[in-house]
Amino acid sequence: METATIAFDQFRPLAEDACQARILDARAKLGAQAVILGHHYQRADVYRHADLTGDSLKLSKLAAQTDARYIVFCGVHFMAEVADILSKPGQASILPDLGAGCSMADMANLSKVERAWREIARVLDPDEHVTPVTYINSAADLKAFCGEHGGIVCTSSNAREILQWSFARREKVLFFPDQHLGRWTGYLLDIPPAEMPVWDPDEELGGLTPQQVKMAKVLLWKGHCSVHQMFQPQQILRWRAENPGGMVISHPECRFDVCKLSDYVGSTDYIIRTVAASAPGTRWLVGTELNLVNRLAEQYKSQGKMVQFMAGTVCMCSTMARIDPQHLAWALENLVAGRVVNRISVQAPEAALARIALDRMLAVS
């Protein structure tokens, strides 16, 4: 039987050492009942407690495979939704702080995507000619939209394969919410810029002419990641002048001109593997979230590798950082007491459609 929820207020003032001790104690009491998933961008004082870590694709697969009763997701809201959609009956997906969202995901919502679909229908039949592709950084209802309309989900790890899958079915793609990942992926497939116009959801017909819609191969939603948007070409040029022979690696959520100037472009997992495989003494400029860069810098310092953050100012995923040790301790201690807090539940009809799109992605990947 569930007991009364333990209030968060008593956790708010906890000192770091005391908080870490309570997390470890609760974790030990829960044992195999709970699994903590941690995204690579998570802050260090929370990341240290993750049982399983990875980027969005890996965590999606892990969420589907775990047998734990409680999936405690140290990430953001859409990740916990994916865990709930892919989890087994009787499992609960938990987000320690409900304020941990994603500004990129918020740039596309169901009403705007449905309106775009209707407006495209004035030019051509989208269900015949357009595959909707949503980046995993999106709400469950957008994944359900893709499931319903023959579409699919992608991550930064598999976007190229997903677009190839999509083009094998229909000649066009509506890609949302991140224009930069869509543009870079289209570039890798030799799609010219003129065939990848930006769809502005706040403009009639996305701000495009009917002819532009007809000519488009990929319609890029006007959205972006606030972290990766901060990186600029001049930061790379300045660093190269000071570090001849150094290497630049960027996430494909970065602007196109940043990706073009980089030696390597890939997902968080790709960045980690590439830096790990490099020779001792290699110097790296990295265009992705600060917590990950700092972790790599510390991990490979003993090998003489220099791993440097691309931006000159602090630039981290502030919404993911809302999951702090205090919220993690609060969520875990409530589980010990028999109370599930901050459960993320996707309604069954929506979850079923979203799962179709996610299963398509996992099959392609």
* Segment 74-94 mean pLDDT: 93
What is the C-alpha R_g of the chain?
A: 21
* Segment 83-89 mean pLDDT: 93
* Segment 94-111 mean pLDDT: 92
Read off the CATH number of the domain in which 48 is found.
3.40.50.10800
Examine residue 363 and state whether it is found in any structural domain, yes or no: no
| Domain match, 109 and 219 both | yes
| Domain match, 130 and 46 both | no
Last residue of a domain, one of 225, 251, 274: 225
CA distance 80 to 93: 6
Last residue of a domain, one of 260, 284, 309: 309
Examine residue 214 and state whether it is found in any structural domain, yes or no: yes
pLDDT of residue 314: 61
Q: For residue 101, what pLDDT band results from cuts at 50, 70 and 90?
A: confident
Examine residue 85 and state whether it is found in any structural domain, yes or no: yes
Tokens standing for residue 76 = 């953001």
| Domain match, 78 and 124 both | no
pLDDT of residue 77: 92
pLDDT of residue 1: 41
pLDDT exceeds cutoff 90 at 320: no
* Segment 169-173 mean pLDDT: 98
Examine residue 215 and state whether it is found in any structural domain, yes or no: yes
Residues, the chain: 365
| Domain match, 21 and 90 both | yes
In terms of Cα–Cα distance, which of 316, 281, 287, 315 is closest to 300? 281
| Domain match, 14 and 55 both | yes
| Domain match, 197 and 247 both | no
Kindly report the number of other CB atoms within 10 A of residue 160's CB atom. 16
Q: For residue 34, what pLDDT band results from cuts at 50, 70 and 90?
A: very high
pLDDT exceeds cutoff 70 at 297: yes
| Domain match, 110 and 216 both | yes
| Domain match, 193 and 213 both | yes
Last residue of a domain, one of 160, 191, 225: 225
Examine residue 2 and state whether it is found in any structural domain, yes or no: no
Above pLDDT 70, what percent of the chain? Answer: 98
To the nearest 10 degrees (0 to 180), the angle between helices 140-148 and 77-86 is: 50
In terms of Cα–Cα distance, which of 214, 284, 209, 289 is closest to 243? 284
pLDDT, tens digit (0-9, with 9 covering 90-100), for 333-347: 999 999 999 999 999
Examine residue 365 and state whether it is found in any structural domain, yes or no: no
Q: What is the mean pLDDT of the chain?
A: 94
| Domain match, 211 and 262 both | no
- How many domains is the chain built from? 3
Examine residue 314 and state whether it is found in any structural domain, yes or no: no
Q: Which residue is listed with tokens 């948007």?
A: 229
To the nearest 10 degrees (0 to 180), the angle between helices 348-364 and 159-167 is: 100
Q: For residue 23, what pLDDT band results from cuts at 50, 70 and 90?
A: very high
CA distance 16 to 220: 43
pLDDT exceeds cutoff 60 at 20: yes
pLDDT, tens digit (0-9, with 9 covering 90-100), for 189-248: 999 999 999 999 999 999 999 999 999 999 999 999 988 989 999 999 999 999 999 999
CA distance 365 to 363: 5
Examine residue 359 and state whether it is found in any structural domain, yes or no: no
pLDDT of residue 41: 87
| Domain match, 113 and 215 both | yes
Q: Which domain holds residue 221?
A: 105-225
